[in-house]
Amino acid sequence: MSNVENKTVIITGASSGMGKATALKLATNGANVVLGARRENLLQNLVSEIEEKGGNAVYRVTDVTNPTDLEKLAELAIEKFDKIDVLVNNAGVMPLSKLNKRKIDEWNMMIDVNIKGVLNGIYAVLPYMREQKQGHIINMASIAGHIVFQGSAVYCATKTAVRAISEGLRMEESPESNIRSTIISPGSILTELSSHITDSEQKQAIDQIESQVGIDPENIAEAIYYAINQPEDVGVNEILVRPTKQEL
């Protein structure tokens, strides 16, 4: 039996892209998945797809910028499956633009979703995991959390923050509560992230990169599966996944 089977896994941003791929990968390998996202019709379709494949899945419409929504998602996991083994903080946005465009609403959206959304997820599940004396929190960072690109200053800042939060979580909780912390840093992945970009120059640049080197979100799902599947005394603290042909 793998270390994924029978685990209860909460996934945010689960309706498409890396979240959807991760839900399918884990559910088809025996995990119970609890799905959160804003688009209910896509969540319903995903639950049906998982159940048709013999897996277990439930969902709740969730806005990660609202701490109460994350608490209710955690309560759903407890209600349906009696425990929370893993949280995958996957929800994120990437409306890139240069600072001189002064898109302050987009800056705030990235801070609210990419940073506060991660903290809200941790806030919701940590009491259960501490009581269990085990758990695993997986936070989606990015290559942009390691290097800075023009037009990506705020996005890079949010993903750098995710890495800092994840490492702080590891230091505080792993020795005391046996809670594992993993950072997943994808490179160019073929998802809907670029659809959030309103700056035409930045969108054209990202679309061109993705068309040339972008890889499927299933590759990130494999990395998440690998991290979860390790024995409980093994912490996979960070994984970078780039397309082979991606330079930066």
3-class secondary structure per residue, the chain? CCCCCCCEEEEECCCCHHHHHHHHHHHCCCCEEEEEECCHHHHHHHHHHHHHCCCEEEEEECCCCCHHHHHHHHHHHHHHHCCCCEEEECCCCCCCCCHHHCCHHHHHHHHHHHHHHHHHHHHHHHHHHHHHCCEEEEEECCHHHCCCCCCCHHHHHHHHHHHHHHHHHHHHHHHHHCEEEEEEEECCECCCHHHHCCCHHHHHHHHHHHHHHCECCHHHHHHHHHHHHCCCCCCCCEEEECCCCCCC
Other CB atoms within 10 Å distance of the CB of residue 2: 12
Does the annotation mark 155 as catalytic? yes
Of the residues 59, 123, 128, 155, only one is catalytic, namely: 155
Catalytic positions, please?
Answer: 155
